[in-house]
């Protein structure tokens, strides 16, 4: 019997991309989805995480454990410290959205460019990257680029415009050792970005699924 992996989403934009990635990279995995789309709405209204939002993240983790999760993967990158706070009390793997991608990026090189579409997530992700680089004694740097208008286009149902804007941004940074796509929702642009640039391109869903598969098999 396969073990249950619970995916916790703060936006519906992340649901299909990561589920499709599981189907491609780990089709035998038992995946369950929890969505609280008010999380991303509420996170966008404030500068930093509040105690109330942190508790909401922990409540979702506790519920996942109650339905026999063998591992938990968060798909929204704006709640890193809250995920850390909850994960430390769990016996099962609880993965932040970008930790596996950051690990892969640090293995590729030093000059990393991160394309993002949800600005409230960027500061926390930069801190996560710096902490991980320091632990690995790496002098790698992360340059963050918020792709203006891309998230709005995707929210409006215009995936083509979303992808076009991300590709245009990626083309400006082909001198990077790697370009990383910050959010699970950006997975739909992955193939177009990869085809448009000469440097390696990493996506958070792909890195996360591969890491979970290694950890759990």
Domain with CATH 3.40.50.1860 in the chain: 4-97+206-216, 99-204
The correct CATH number of 4-97+206-216 out of 3.90.1300.10, 3.40.50.300, 3.40.50.1860, 3.30.2130.30 is 3.40.50.1860
What is the average pLDDT across 136-145? 97
Split at pLDDT 50, 70, 90, the class of 106 is very high
Q: Does residue 1 surpass a pLDDT of 60?
A: no
**What is the band of 148 on the pLDDT scale with cuts at 50, 70, 90?**
very high
Task: Give the pLDDT band of residue 76 (cuts 50, 70, 90).
Answer: confident
22, 209 contact by CB (below 8 A): yes
Q: Which residues contact 192 (CB under 8 A, 6 or more apart)?
A: 163, 166, 167
pLDDT at 217: 84
Please work out, in degrees rounded to the nearest 5, the angle formed at the alpha carbon of residue 99 by the alpha carbons of 135 and 209: 140
47: confidence class by pLDDT, cuts 50, 70, 90: confident
Q: What is the pLDDT of residues 171-180, one digit of tens each?
A: 999 999 999 9
Surface-to-core class of residue 25, CB atoms within 10 Å of its CB (0-12 exposed, 13-18 middle, 19+ buried): middle
Q: According to the CATH classification, is domain 99-204 in 3.65.10.10?
A: no
Q: What is the mean pLDDT of residues 56-71?
A: 96
């Amino acid at each position: 019997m396969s073990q249950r992996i619970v995916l916790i989403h703060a936006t519906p934009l992340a649901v299909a991309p990561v589920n499709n990635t599981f189907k491609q990279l780990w089709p035998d995995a038992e995946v369950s989805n929890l969505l609280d789309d008010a999380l991303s709405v509420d996170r966008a209204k404030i500068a930093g995480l509040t105690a109330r939002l942190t508790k909401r993240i922990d409540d979702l983790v506790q519920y996942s454990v109650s339905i026999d999760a063998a591992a938990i993967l968060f798909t929204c990158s704006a709640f890193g410290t809250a995920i850390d706070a909850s994960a430390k009390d769990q016996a099962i793997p609880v993965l932040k959205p970008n930790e596996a991608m950051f690990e892969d990026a640090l293995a590729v090189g030093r000059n990393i460019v991160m394309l993002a579409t949800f600005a409230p997530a960027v500061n926390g992700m930069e801190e996560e990257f710096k902490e991980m680089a320091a632990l690995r004694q790496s002098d790698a740097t992360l340059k963050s680029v918020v792709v203006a208008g891309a998230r709005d286009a995707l929210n409006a149902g215009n995936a083509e415009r979303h992808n076009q804007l991300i590709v245009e941004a990626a083309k400006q940074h082909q001198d990077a050792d790697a370009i990383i796509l910050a959010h699970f929702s950006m997975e739909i642009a992955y193939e177009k970005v990869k085809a448009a640039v000469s440097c390696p391109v990493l996506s958070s869903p792909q890195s996360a699924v591969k890491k979970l598969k290694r950890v759990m098999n």
